[in-house]
Homo-oligomer: A and B are copies of this chain.
Amino acid sequence: MSFSPLTSRLIEALTCLPGVGPKSAQRMALHLLDRDRNGGEKLAQTLQLAMDNIGRCQRCRNFSESEVCQTCTQTSRDASLLCVVETPADVIALDQSGGFRGYYFLLLGHLSPIDGIGPEEIGAPLLDQRLAEGEVKEMVIATGTTVEGEATAHYLSEMARRHGVVASRIAHGVPMGGDLEYVDSNTLSLALKGRKRLE
């Protein structure tokens, strides 16, 4: 005895979501069938629409249903600043901080030769072309602090140099409100190296 064939197929299909195993998928399927048919209908339609229509922005590579995304069409931004990040979530986080008013470029990953992710995969040709346009004066590199993130940052700074563009890296250090004793030693060492003279 098991669930009806269609219920089983729904449970199976739900496991494509990250962090959802067979048990959670079962709970989700039963919840939708039992208590939220409207939500399920809406999810099905929105999902179909999203899968069919969302592509990449031709300028920054962020997800967008139009050829050029909303952010890239905003003229209020400073075109001399370009921030290079790994993921769409990074863009949201940086923009919400309010500390950056330029444009963004998404790598959608980082260089990782072992996984077959080279310059092509992270959109290097498109970025190269963008820098060649000559509008960008400073490229803020905000890739992760992993080994791959650092290697990618190095690769990007070389590219910026070729175009005569200033490359900068966001600062790493102790988070605001962070107690020193709870900060890991790598971060502390970076924070010490990056110390600033008080005026």
Q: Which residues of A contact B (CB under 8 A)?
A: 1-7, 9-10, 12-14, 16-19, 24, 26-34, 36-37, 39-51, 53-54, 62-66, 69-71, 87-89, 91-92, 95-96, 108
Inter-chain contact B19/A40, CB cutoff 8 Å: no
Closest to A31 in B: B18
Q: Given A19-B27, A24-B19 in contact, is the A40-B32 Cβ separation under 8 Å?
A: no
**How far does the alpha carbon of A2 sit from the alpha carbon of B62 in the complex, in Å?**
11
Closest to A24 in B: B19
Min C-beta distance of A9 to chain B, whole Å: 5
Out of B7, B13, B16, B88, name the residue touching A63 (CB < 8 Å). B7
Inter-chain contact B26/A89, CB cutoff 8 Å: yes
Out of B4, B10, B31, B62, name the residue touching A69 (CB < 8 Å). B4
Inter-chain contact B18/A28, CB cutoff 8 Å: yes
Inter-chain contact A32/B46, CB cutoff 8 Å: no
Closest to A53 in B: B6
**How far does the alpha carbon of A54 sit from the alpha carbon of B40 in the complex, in Å?**
12
Inter-chain contact B32/A51, CB cutoff 8 Å: yes
**How far does the alpha carbon of A19 sit from the alpha carbon of B27 in the complex, in Å?**
10
Inter-chain contact A48/B53, CB cutoff 8 Å: no
A27: B residues at CB distance < 8 A: 18-19, 89
Q: Given A37-B51, A44-B47, A46-B9 in contact, is the A87-B4 Cβ separation under 8 Å?
A: no
